[in-house]
Amino acid sequence: MAVLHSRLDVLEEIPCGGSLLNPLLYELIANFRDGEEEDEALLRKICGVEGDLIGRGELPSDFVVVAARRKDHPGLAISEPSRVRR
């Protein structure tokens, strides 16, 4: 991310998790059944734990969506970056 920030004007960074879920559920996610309340409850719990840890800064996010523009070509100004949904 440091290289990204050094070369681009970062307008928005949205962490998407993955640091806990990706290695934990790798090749296991297919075993969870869509529509099964127990499976979905467990996945919601795990997602919640990861989100809480990332939100408190105790765990980095492996996946991030970034809106950025070149520093040498700013283009249009963005006046309301808060319009991006999180």
> What is residue 50's DSSP assignment?
H
| Cα three-residue angle 66-76-6, rounded to 5 degrees | 45
Contacts of 25 (CB under 8 A, 6+ apart): 46
- pLDDT tens for 14-23 read 988 999 999 9
Q: Please give the model's pTM, rounded to 2 decimal places.
A: 0.66
Contacts of 62 (CB under 8 A, 6+ apart): 17, 18, 19, 22
73 or 52, higher pLDDT? 52
Q: For residues 82 and 23, what is the distance between their CA atoms, to the nearest angstrom? A: 31
